[in-house]
Chains A and B, each alone.
Chain A
Amino acid sequence: MQRPGMISIWFFIGALLLAYGVLICGAGIVEAISPSAAAAARAEANLHWDGVDNLHVAIWWGGLLIILGAIYTIKFAPGKGK
């Protein structure tokens, strides 16, 4: 749906994913440099799988969100039609 002047829902989604990607990727980099209290808390809660620490999931998942978010934000930016 696109009424005249209405911002596309895909732009909102892109902008949010972009912001999330930056936050998550940043958190992943910080976590990789100096593991936080969160890892200790997970281990304490008997939930932790040690192997996940070596995967650096937050960095590549955050990177994926940045790419997706940037594509949608640019493609559906206000004033670019659909």
Chain B
Amino acid sequence: MQPFTAPFAFLQAGTRLLSLSSVDLAIIVLYFIAVLGIGFYLKRYTKTGEDFFLAGREMTAWVAGLSFLAANLGSLELMGWAGAAYQYGILAAHWYWIGAIPAMLFLAIVMIPFYYISKTHSVPGYLKLRFGEPARAFSAISFGFMTVLMSGINMYAMALVLKVVLGWDISVSIWVSSITVALYVGLGGLLSAIFNEVLQFVLIWLGALLVSIIGLVEAGGWNGMVARIHANYPGQDYTHMWRTLGSFTANPMGIHWVGIVFGLGAVISMGYWTTDFLVVQRVISAKDLRSAKLAPIIGAAFKMCVPFIVILPGLLGLAVLPKGWLVGENAVNALHPHSYNEVLPIMLARYCGPGLLGLGITALIAGFMSGMAGNVSAFATVWTYDIYRAMFRKNASDAHYVSVGRWCTILGVLVSIGTAYLVMSFKSIMDYVQALFSFFIAPLFSTVLLGMLWKRTTPAGGFWGLFAGTVSSIGMWAWVKLDPSAIRYIALSPSAKDMAENMFRALWSGIICAVVTVVVSLVTKPKTDQELVGLVYGCTEIPSEGHLKLHQRPIFWAGVVAGVFVILQIIFW
């Protein structure tokens, strides 16, 4: 089959690893037709604000659970963490296991009842109910800021992949994918975003799984891969998750287990998976409380498997690609033209011929678009309900807010495009995102958790704790930027590296937020129990599940997932 180039010649702007065949292009075009077709089809079912912003609160546990996970499977998951696995080895899998599973189960069992029973439409909306307008405004504005930045990162990463692999022009890639997302989310709202996320989830797996399967065949199975890595990189341990974390200098990430367990596991991941509205929005769209609790558990079960299509290709790259072939972003030059972040598309190119290459590229595009759509739909909801309605127009009709939501989708995409161009000047995608998480997400978790579990927490305590945690996080980041030696105070060791700094900064900001919240709460007037019904543990009656059989209860499946999680840690210790 001959490369199909004529109508798409404008895309082939630069150097590239591969040319697509006509079959590959047909697969990609079919994908775009499918997602746009779903958007147009679902527009007729999206009439009210509840439909547009919360998909009518009618999602089954499976659809909500898969979209909950797919919204997170953006460019950073597919490309960034494969690159991180090539750079740091299997340590990158911590972000999928201890950095996700406990938090997702905690969300399902402890926090979902309050989100769901309060009938809030967003996380800032919960803060309004629990702490009042200032906390909501601060959270909504910081979330909106973070969301469009994340969306821009997604776009940039996608465009970069398409440029490296296919030679497509970055601007064309950004604009085509952005307009597609704007159309299908603008037409069908969250309903369309969720339906497409389920479709994208399936395509991501079917497109990316082959790299791992064929890679293991080439490397001679898991043991063969480990042997090759040891041969390529003698004296370095890329294949154990915990045994090298006793010292900052014993592992390629330059991190200590305290940072992984407490910074990543207890603060950053808890903050992301339980309070980032991008993912929580999918769960509160479930049709009932049991489905809402099951959705994150289903998501957690699949999340545990994602390293097989993301981390494993990075490890296989260490095993089968020539040593030193991929370098850091700063070291890219004529002799070493490819960076760590390109390892996944490079492995894809290594194994996939006509047709399969198109499926693999479609998987990458699907991942990027699901992440982008997740950000944009969450941005439209928070902007419309928590900023526009709260601050500018309180009593408009439902149809008016739906209209605002559609326009916000377009606006969010346009701002994200601007952000994508801004991101091009940043050297490391992953470090940038980790910094963002620690600015906004880590303090938010402390605020929401104290708000849900401690009824003595006051509105003033919630607001000032959130404010202090965010400002202190930005302050610590700026301190290390201005004086790199300050990392010894933030990460407790001069040997710590960027990733460790992010973990510890998140830990400190979470602690600062909690301490300020408690102190301010103790000296200010709390709300009455009556005002906290449906919002706080001890004031809220959680519906009993006693009538359900054991295998129908969310807590049972949470236990199963937790058990598998522990077994995985032991296997890869």
Contacts and interface: CB of A to CB of B under 8 A. Distances in A.
Interface of A: 1, 3, 6-7, 9, 12-13, 16-17, 19-20, 23-28, 30-31, 36-39, 41-42, 45, 47-49, 51-52, 55, 57-58, 61-62, 65
A44 to B, nearest CB: 10
Given A49-B350, A51-B217, A55-B217, A20 B59 contact: no
Nearest to B191: A1
Contacts of A20: 27, 30, 359
Contacts of A6: 45
A38 B24 CA distance: 11
B202 interface: yes
B354 A45 contact: no
B21 A38 contact: yes
A28 to B, nearest CB: 6
A65 B355 CA distance: 12
A25 to B, nearest CB: 8
B199 A57 contact: no
Contacts of A39: 353
Contacts of A25: 355
Interface of B: 1-3, 17-19, 21, 23, 26-27, 30-31, 34, 37-38, 41, 45, 55-56, 58-60, 63, 191, 195, 198-199, 202-203, 206, 210, 214, 217-218, 287, 320, 346, 349-359
Contact of B18 (A30, A41, A49, A51): A41
**Chain B contact residues: over half helix, strand or loop, or mixed?**
helix
A24 B41 contact: no
Contacts of B359: 20, 24
B170 to A, nearest CB: 20
Contacts of A61: 210, 356
A23 B198 contact: no
Contacts of B191: 1
Contacts of A38: 1, 3, 18-19, 21, 353-354, 357
Contacts of B34: 12, 16
A37 B2 contact: yes
B63 A9 contact: yes
B198 A36 contact: no
Contacts of B202: 13, 17
Given A12-B195, A16-B199, A31-B354, 14 more contacts: A1-B191, A12-B199, A16-B31, A16-B203, A24-B23, A28-B356, A30-B1, A38-B354, A48-B350, A49-B320, A57-B210, A57-B351, A57-B353, A58-B353
A65 B353 CA distance: 16
Nearest to A64: B206
Given A3-B58, A12-B34, A13-B199, A49 B218 contact: yes
